[in-house]
Amino acid sequence: METKDEKVLKEPFAEIGTKMHLLLHTGQMLMENGADSDRTVRNMMRTAAYMGIPKDRIHQHVMYTTLMLNVNDEQHSYTEFRKCTTHGINMTTLTAISKLTWRALEKNYSLHEFERHLLHIKNKPRNYPVWLTAFGAGAACGGFCKLFGGSWLDFVLTAVCAFLGFYVRRLCASYAFNTYAVIAITSFATTMFAWATQFLTGSMNWYPLISCTLFLVPGIPLINAVDDFLNNFIVSGMTRA
Protein backbone atom coordinates (compact mmCIF):
# COMPACT_ATOMS: atom_id res chain seq x y z
CA MET A 1 0.00 0.00 0.00
CA GLU A 2 1.35 3.43 -0.94
CA THR A 3 2.26 5.82 1.81
CA LYS A 4 1.15 9.44 1.87
CA ASP A 5 4.63 10.64 0.82
CA GLU A 6 4.66 8.26 -2.17
CA LYS A 7 1.26 9.52 -3.32
CA VAL A 8 2.44 13.14 -3.08
CA LEU A 9 5.39 12.38 -5.37
CA LYS A 10 3.12 10.77 -7.98
CA GLU A 11 0.45 13.45 -8.14
CA PRO A 12 1.75 16.66 -9.79
CA PHE A 13 -0.52 19.06 -7.91
CA ALA A 14 -0.41 17.38 -4.50
CA GLU A 15 1.12 19.88 -2.02
CA ILE A 16 1.94 22.07 -5.02
CA GLY A 17 2.73 25.08 -2.81
CA THR A 18 5.48 23.17 -0.98
CA LYS A 19 6.81 21.73 -4.23
CA MET A 20 7.07 25.15 -5.91
CA HIS A 21 8.68 26.61 -2.80
CA LEU A 22 11.37 23.89 -2.85
CA LEU A 23 11.88 24.20 -6.60
CA LEU A 24 12.44 27.95 -6.37
CA HIS A 25 14.62 27.57 -3.28
CA THR A 26 16.78 25.11 -5.23
CA GLY A 27 17.04 27.51 -8.18
CA GLN A 28 17.76 30.47 -5.93
CA MET A 29 20.63 28.68 -4.18
CA LEU A 30 22.12 27.74 -7.55
CA MET A 31 21.88 31.26 -9.00
CA GLU A 32 23.20 32.91 -5.84
CA ASN A 33 26.23 30.60 -5.72
CA GLY A 34 27.49 31.02 -9.27
CA ALA A 35 25.53 28.55 -11.44
CA ASP A 36 24.83 29.45 -15.05
CA SER A 37 21.19 29.62 -16.17
CA ASP A 38 21.28 26.34 -18.07
CA ARG A 39 22.54 24.46 -15.03
CA THR A 40 19.86 26.10 -12.88
CA VAL A 41 17.07 25.04 -15.25
CA ARG A 42 18.51 21.52 -15.58
CA ASN A 43 18.64 20.96 -11.82
CA MET A 44 15.18 22.44 -11.26
CA MET A 45 13.72 20.20 -13.97
CA ARG A 46 15.35 17.16 -12.37
CA THR A 47 13.88 18.19 -9.04
CA ALA A 48 10.46 18.59 -10.66
CA ALA A 49 10.76 15.11 -12.16
CA TYR A 50 11.48 13.68 -8.70
CA MET A 51 8.36 15.48 -7.41
CA GLY A 52 6.20 13.90 -10.09
CA ILE A 53 5.65 17.07 -12.16
CA PRO A 54 5.77 16.28 -15.93
CA LYS A 55 8.21 18.40 -17.90
CA ASP A 56 5.46 19.62 -20.24
CA ARG A 57 3.54 21.03 -17.25
CA ILE A 58 6.33 23.18 -15.83
CA HIS A 59 7.59 26.46 -17.31
CA GLN A 60 10.53 28.52 -16.08
CA HIS A 61 11.83 32.00 -16.75
CA VAL A 62 15.34 32.55 -15.45
CA MET A 63 16.96 35.95 -15.03
CA TYR A 64 20.00 36.93 -13.02
CA THR A 65 17.98 38.47 -10.19
CA THR A 66 14.58 36.79 -10.57
CA LEU A 67 13.22 33.27 -11.05
CA MET A 68 9.66 32.69 -12.29
CA LEU A 69 8.00 29.28 -12.13
CA ASN A 70 4.63 28.18 -13.51
CA VAL A 71 2.97 24.76 -13.18
CA ASN A 72 -0.30 24.22 -15.03
CA ASP A 73 -2.73 21.85 -16.70
CA GLU A 74 -6.19 22.27 -18.24
CA GLN A 75 -7.74 23.15 -14.87
CA HIS A 76 -4.93 24.55 -12.70
CA SER A 77 -2.28 27.22 -13.04
CA TYR A 78 0.14 28.16 -10.27
CA THR A 79 2.81 30.87 -10.61
CA GLU A 80 5.43 31.99 -8.13
CA PHE A 81 8.44 34.32 -8.21
CA ARG A 82 11.67 34.32 -6.24
CA LYS A 83 14.28 37.09 -6.02
CA CYS A 84 18.00 36.30 -6.01
CA THR A 85 19.37 39.05 -3.79
CA THR A 86 23.04 38.12 -3.38
CA HIS A 87 25.51 36.57 -5.80
CA GLY A 88 28.75 34.81 -5.03
CA ILE A 89 30.77 31.75 -6.00
CA ASN A 90 30.54 28.50 -4.05
CA MET A 91 31.29 25.41 -6.10
CA THR A 92 30.71 23.16 -3.09
CA THR A 93 27.06 24.25 -2.93
CA LEU A 94 26.55 23.71 -6.67
CA THR A 95 28.00 20.21 -6.52
CA ALA A 96 26.02 19.30 -3.40
CA ILE A 97 22.70 20.43 -4.91
CA SER A 98 23.35 18.51 -8.12
CA LYS A 99 24.08 15.34 -6.14
CA LEU A 100 21.00 15.93 -3.96
CA THR A 101 18.67 16.11 -6.97
CA TRP A 102 20.03 12.82 -8.30
CA ARG A 103 19.72 11.14 -4.89
CA ALA A 104 16.18 12.43 -4.44
CA LEU A 105 15.24 11.03 -7.85
CA GLU A 106 16.80 7.67 -7.03
CA LYS A 107 15.62 7.27 -3.43
CA ASN A 108 12.26 9.07 -3.61
CA TYR A 109 12.91 11.45 -0.72
CA SER A 110 9.85 12.90 0.95
CA LEU A 111 9.44 16.65 0.53
CA HIS A 112 10.43 17.09 4.17
CA GLU A 113 13.63 15.09 3.66
CA PHE A 114 14.50 17.06 0.54
CA GLU A 115 13.98 20.36 2.36
CA ARG A 116 16.10 19.17 5.28
CA HIS A 117 18.99 18.24 2.98
CA LEU A 118 18.64 21.54 1.12
CA LEU A 119 18.86 23.55 4.35
CA HIS A 120 21.87 21.50 5.41
CA ILE A 121 23.64 22.46 2.18
CA LYS A 122 22.68 26.12 2.63
CA ASN A 123 24.09 26.25 6.17
CA LYS A 124 27.20 24.25 5.38
CA PRO A 125 30.37 26.30 5.98
CA ARG A 126 32.76 26.98 3.13
CA ASN A 127 35.67 24.61 2.59
CA TYR A 128 38.25 27.35 3.07
CA PRO A 129 38.43 30.10 5.71
CA VAL A 130 38.44 33.73 4.63
CA TRP A 131 42.11 34.27 5.46
CA LEU A 132 43.14 31.36 3.22
CA THR A 133 41.02 32.64 0.34
CA ALA A 134 42.53 36.10 0.80
CA PHE A 135 46.01 34.54 0.82
CA GLY A 136 45.24 32.73 -2.44
CA ALA A 137 43.95 35.94 -4.05
CA GLY A 138 47.07 37.79 -2.95
CA ALA A 139 49.38 35.07 -4.25
CA ALA A 140 47.54 35.02 -7.60
CA CYS A 141 47.91 38.78 -8.03
CA GLY A 142 51.56 38.53 -7.03
CA GLY A 143 52.01 35.82 -9.66
CA PHE A 144 50.55 38.09 -12.33
CA CYS A 145 52.93 40.83 -11.21
CA LYS A 146 55.86 38.47 -11.64
CA LEU A 147 54.64 37.39 -15.08
CA PHE A 148 54.38 41.05 -16.12
CA GLY A 149 58.08 41.44 -15.37
CA GLY A 150 58.11 42.55 -11.74
CA SER A 151 60.74 41.55 -9.18
CA TRP A 152 60.24 39.24 -6.21
CA LEU A 153 59.92 42.35 -4.04
CA ASP A 154 57.11 43.51 -6.34
CA PHE A 155 55.55 40.07 -5.95
CA VAL A 156 55.48 40.40 -2.16
CA LEU A 157 54.16 43.97 -2.23
CA THR A 158 51.41 43.03 -4.69
CA ALA A 159 50.40 39.99 -2.65
CA VAL A 160 50.16 42.04 0.57
CA CYS A 161 48.12 44.81 -1.10
CA ALA A 162 45.75 42.31 -2.71
CA PHE A 163 45.41 40.46 0.62
CA LEU A 164 44.37 43.69 2.34
CA GLY A 165 42.10 44.65 -0.57
CA PHE A 166 40.34 41.30 -0.36
CA TYR A 167 39.48 42.03 3.27
CA VAL A 168 38.20 45.47 2.30
CA ARG A 169 35.84 43.83 -0.17
CA ARG A 170 34.65 41.33 2.46
CA LEU A 171 34.02 44.20 4.89
CA CYS A 172 31.98 46.16 2.34
CA ALA A 173 30.00 43.05 1.40
CA SER A 174 29.25 42.31 5.07
CA TYR A 175 27.54 45.71 5.30
CA ALA A 176 25.47 44.91 2.17
CA PHE A 177 26.94 47.71 0.08
CA ASN A 178 25.83 48.03 -3.54
CA THR A 179 27.83 45.61 -5.73
CA TYR A 180 29.27 48.37 -7.92
CA ALA A 181 30.14 50.45 -4.87
CA VAL A 182 32.02 47.47 -3.43
CA ILE A 183 34.09 47.21 -6.61
CA ALA A 184 34.84 50.94 -6.64
CA ILE A 185 35.76 51.11 -2.93
CA THR A 186 37.90 47.98 -3.11
CA SER A 187 39.71 49.17 -6.23
CA PHE A 188 40.43 52.56 -4.68
CA ALA A 189 41.60 51.14 -1.34
CA THR A 190 43.80 48.43 -2.90
CA THR A 191 45.39 50.85 -5.35
CA MET A 192 46.10 53.28 -2.50
CA PHE A 193 47.81 50.45 -0.59
CA ALA A 194 50.01 49.82 -3.63
CA TRP A 195 50.70 53.54 -4.05
CA ALA A 196 51.74 53.80 -0.39
CA THR A 197 54.45 51.13 -0.86
CA GLN A 198 56.70 53.85 -2.34
CA PHE A 199 57.26 55.07 1.22
CA LEU A 200 58.78 51.66 2.04
CA THR A 201 60.96 51.26 -1.06
CA GLY A 202 61.76 54.89 -1.85
CA SER A 203 60.32 54.85 -5.38
CA MET A 204 57.02 54.24 -7.14
CA ASN A 205 56.29 50.53 -7.59
CA TRP A 206 54.44 50.38 -10.89
CA TYR A 207 54.00 46.62 -11.22
CA PRO A 208 52.18 46.26 -7.88
CA LEU A 209 50.06 49.30 -8.80
CA ILE A 210 48.96 47.53 -11.99
CA SER A 211 48.50 44.01 -10.61
CA CYS A 212 47.06 44.50 -7.13
CA THR A 213 43.38 44.66 -8.18
CA LEU A 214 43.30 41.68 -10.56
CA PHE A 215 41.45 39.59 -7.96
CA LEU A 216 38.39 41.73 -8.78
CA VAL A 217 38.18 40.38 -12.34
CA PRO A 218 34.90 38.34 -12.32
CA GLY A 219 36.11 35.28 -14.23
CA ILE A 220 33.23 32.92 -13.45
CA PRO A 221 30.44 35.48 -14.10
CA LEU A 222 32.06 36.30 -17.45
CA ILE A 223 32.21 32.61 -18.38
CA ASN A 224 28.59 32.19 -17.27
CA ALA A 225 27.60 35.21 -19.38
CA VAL A 226 29.02 33.57 -22.50
CA ASP A 227 27.35 30.27 -21.55
CA ASP A 228 24.00 32.05 -21.10
CA PHE A 229 24.31 33.73 -24.49
CA LEU A 230 25.09 30.40 -26.18
CA ASN A 231 22.11 28.74 -24.47
CA ASN A 232 19.74 31.59 -25.43
CA PHE A 233 19.36 33.09 -21.94
CA ILE A 234 19.95 36.52 -23.43
CA VAL A 235 18.63 38.72 -20.59
CA SER A 236 20.53 36.81 -17.92
CA GLY A 237 23.69 36.79 -20.06
CA MET A 238 23.55 40.56 -20.64
CA THR A 239 23.05 41.19 -16.92
CA ARG A 240 26.04 39.03 -16.01
CA ALA A 241 28.18 40.65 -18.72
The pLDDT tens digits for 74-110 are 788 889 999 988 888 888 999 999 999 999 989 888 8
Three-point CA angle 116, 118, 123, nearest 5°: 95
Residues 6+ apart with CB under 8 A from 164: 189, 190, 193
Q: How far apart are CA 18 and CA 30, in angstroms?
A: 18
Query: pTM to 2 decimals?
Result: 0.83
In the predicted structure, residue 178 carries a pLDDT above the cut 90: no
Distance CA 172, CA 189 (A): 11
Average pLDDT over residues 130-140: 91
The residue that leads in pLDDT, 234 or 3, is 234
Nearest to 100 by CA among 124, 116, 112, 117: 117
- pLDDT value, residue 6: 66
Question: In sequence order, which ranges of the chain are alpha helices (DSSP H)?
Answer: 4-10, 16-32, 37-50, 91-107, 111-122, 130-147, 152-174, 179-196, 198-201, 206-211, 219-230, 234-240
* pLDDT at residue 5, as a whole number: 62
**Bridge partners, residue 42, by sequence:** none
Computed over every residue of the chain, the mean pLDDT equals 89
Residue 175 has pLDDT above 90, yes or no: no
Residue 1 has pLDDT above 60, yes or no: no
Is the pLDDT reported for residue 2 higher than 90? no
Mean pLDDT of all residues in 132-144: 92
How confident is the model at residue 23, as a pLDDT? 93
Please compute the mean of the pLDDT values over residues 4-13 and round it to a whole number.
Answer: 70
Q: Does the structure show a pLDDT above 90 at 241? A: no
pLDDT at position 50 over 70: yes
The predicted-structure confidence for 209-225, as pLDDT tens digits, reads as follows: 889 998 888 888 888 88
